[in-house]
Structure 1
């Protein structure tokens, strides 16, 4: 009789195969879970980014529009230039505010009480008189005529027209009172109230009045500071990286320098601000709140990043390029500067733009050297008092007025656009200098 019992070797092989297949299923399941976790993390990060961008844009886009009021102001010669000399000093000192208030009283003759008149005058920005003054100074022939001029409305009126302030609720809880609402509706019905593109946001400096506040001073100060930083940090960083990677002897001193460079890259930025305050301002007596000092401080802060990135770019160049250059008779310096450095330059530019982006967003070191001061004038050079865009955002974010909320978000949008422009320039430069082998 034939034995039909299964072969033990075959049964063992089947069991091993089943074990292997079960392990494969577990590994595939683990890989699927890992992919899911990675996709979920990326999706969650993008969601947070979109929520952040939506929050910034939804709060800040309205800052690019401003409510204006049209005034037909009689430029009475007796009040502006009584002697008719057209002297600039006389024209500059004229009471333009009184002319605007008189025109508002003529528009609403029923307003007779002192308190109501102050409320009526409050519809117009404090900067209206300066716009009228500049118009007269630019063209003195307007004196004696009635001019039509669009002036900024007060920030509360602007917030009301944009829907950020409510008309509802008890009058005592509203910034805009009932009589002011009536005057605003009358001005709107007469075509004297409209929303226009807010050019003042890009042309004015900082101001105590939100409707007059702009970013030009902070933007110019930021550009001056970054120019000083780039002018100093890029050549110094590249030179240090080339020396340490290509020419410096390998001993304990160079090892100490490398360790210190790596440690400096992790030092908190406020420490560099304290260093700038102690050395550049207190010891060397450099001007406080100046882009020159800010650029020097940010140079110290970005140098480690540029040096580390530069050395990594030099290491990534294939050794065959060095060997080929040396093999045809080039000196070590010629091999580095004519063959190795051009190949490493795109990576160095990437490290530089990372360091500049870090410097663009820094606030703490600039606060320590006094760039937090209120400065309304536009800086004309790197030694003039100035502030920077991140510091301007910090100052506006701390202001209680509702109008500064939208200007804070709008300034953040401009800062991000400036950063994107810097990255675009870095990409173009990288493509220009990049070589393929």
Structure 2
């Protein structure tokens, strides 16, 4: 008859099982983190792989002769004369001078190498410098979208090359001589939206996002903080305040498109505010971010030790003085962190803004809160749905710009938290 295992042996076996379970649990956690990091890496690699070329532009550098006879422009200071002048001819002549002789018989193919807006750029240059007439100037213009796609994606099967074989040969030759070159795409940050991919930029969307966020911050932060202070410090504990607290928590989980419907019904249909303006967008995003700011502000107020309140009351401070002079300064870092996170969430929202008309095609850069505008997430939505494949890189580049702002705002929240918070 075998002996029963001793109590010490049973304890050792139990510990071994416990340690195995702990190791398994730890390995599951490490595997989950690895999967999350892998998914994040795949996402960033895909976005960067598609969007890095959006930060490059194809340019054509030409020796342009500004001949008044060719341009049919006698007086460059006359606005009407400039409107009737031919600014395409000098560009075409300058480009033909860089190409083989057979290009003389194919003017349409030659014009297909330079951007349609190059003549407008030349017109603005002549208007700003009328003394240039009669001289030869070295000027740089955007290449056409087809040339831009060829320069960046000639080895990528996802992009269809629309240049003819002869045009491709011309582009290769000009690229070898440095006439056509790739450089940093400042157009992306200096232009608004455009139907021409090589001319499209995100400046209009950035300014629209800025104005919208300013309205959201100016309204949501003071209202959210005031509501949190009242609910946490002054409101009596009864069924009414309980009902308000439950609804604030529920509103934080409401889909953002519901706030868009509310904004459409109240601000546009009822109050008659214009569509697609930063003011209405800011009002809608204020409604969406208020629950987040109130909840985070109340948590920050609760984190202040009761001893601070008791000490202030002990030296004769009133309730308002306790809150404003002692509790609020100590809770402010947490309030600011929650507000920045709420603003970052609002910056990335698309659905509520679509419903109030900020999905419109806006070319001009907005100059105020009542100008028609769009925002970065909506710009990404517009470009990603465009039939032009050249907009794919623009959409990915805009995503990278948006992610930069979001990461920066979250990093600012973390820095403020560590810099200003007090540990008790």
TM-score, normalised via structure 1 length: 0.91
Matches within 5 A, 1:7-86: 15-78=6-69, 80=71, 82-84=73-75, 86=77
- State the distance in 1 between where 2:177 and 2:260 align: 55
- State the distance in 1 between where 2:113 and 2:266 align: 49
1:165 and 2:157 aligned: no
Counterpart secondary structure, 1:148: strand
Gap runs ≥5 in structure 2: none
1:202 and 2:189 aligned: yes
Counterpart secondary structure, 1:67: strand
Counterpart secondary structure, 1:224: helix
1:110 and 2:102 aligned: yes
Aligned CA distance change for structure 1 residues 215 and 265 (closer, same or farther; 3 Å): same
Query: Which residue matches 2:116?
Result: 126
Structure 1 stretch displaced more, 309-318 or 294-303? 309-318
8 Å CA contact 1:342–1:433 kept in 2: the answer is no
Query: Which residue matches 1:275?
Result: 262
Counterpart secondary structure, 2:103: coil
Counterpart secondary structure, 2:174: helix
8 Å CA contact 1:80–1:143 kept in 2: the answer is no
Give how far 1:152 is off.
0.9
Give how far 1:325 is off.
1.0
Query: Which residue matches 1:324?
Result: 311
1:144 and 2:134 aligned: yes
Give how far 1:199 is off.
0.7
Identify the match of residue 92 of structure 2 among 90, 101, 115. 101
- State the distance in 2 between where 1:217 and 1:53 align: 25
Give how far 1:139 is off.
0.8
Aligned CA distance change for structure 1 residues 333 and 408 (closer, same or farther; 3 Å): same
Gap runs ≥5 in structure 1: none
8 Å CA contact 2:350–2:378 kept in 1: the answer is yes
Identify the match of residue 334 of structure 2 among 307, 330, 347. 347
8 Å CA contact 2:47–2:399 kept in 1: the answer is yes
- State the distance in 1 between where 2:302 and 2:177 align: 71
Give how far 1:429 is off.
3.5
Counterpart secondary structure, 1:285: coil
Query: Which residue matches 1:226?
Result: 213
Identify the match of residue 216 of structure 1 among 198, 203, 211. 203
Kindly report the root-mean-square deviation, in angstroms, between the aligned alpha carbons of the 2 structures: 2.1
- State the distance in 2 between where 1:167 and 1:40 align: 35
Aligned CA distance change for structure 1 residues 432 and 31 (closer, same or farther; 3 Å): closer
8 Å CA contact 1:237–1:310 kept in 2: the answer is yes
Give how far 1:110 is off.
2.1
The superposition leaves residues 335-394 of structure 1 with CA deviations (integer Å, 9 ceiling, x where unpaired) of: 111111111111111211121111011000110011111101000001100000000011
Aligned CA distance change for structure 1 residues 19 and 133 (closer, same or farther; 3 Å): same
8 Å CA contact 2:57–2:142 kept in 1: the answer is yes
Counterpart secondary structure, 2:357: coil
- State the distance in 1 between where 2:64 and 2:76 align: 21
The superposition leaves residues 243-274 of structure 1 with CA deviations (integer Å, 9 ceiling, x where unpaired) of: 00110011111111111111111111111111
Give how far 1:83 is off.
4.2
Counterpart secondary structure, 1:416: helix
1:87 and 2:83 aligned: no
- State the distance in 2 between where 1:288 and 1:205 align: 19
- State the distance in 2 between where 1:176 and 1:288 align: 41
Aligned length: 421
8 Å CA contact 2:109–2:167 kept in 1: the answer is yes
8 Å CA contact 2:57–2:148 kept in 1: the answer is yes
Give how far 1:156 is off.
2.0
Give how far 1:91 is off.
2.5
- State the distance in 2 between where 1:174 and 1:81 align: 35
1:287 and 2:274 aligned: yes
Query: Which residue matches 2:362?
Result: 375
8 Å CA contact 1:80–1:90 kept in 2: the answer is no
Give how far 1:190 is off.
3.5
8 Å CA contact 1:166–1:174 kept in 2: the answer is no
- State the distance in 2 between where 1:89 and 1:323 align: 78
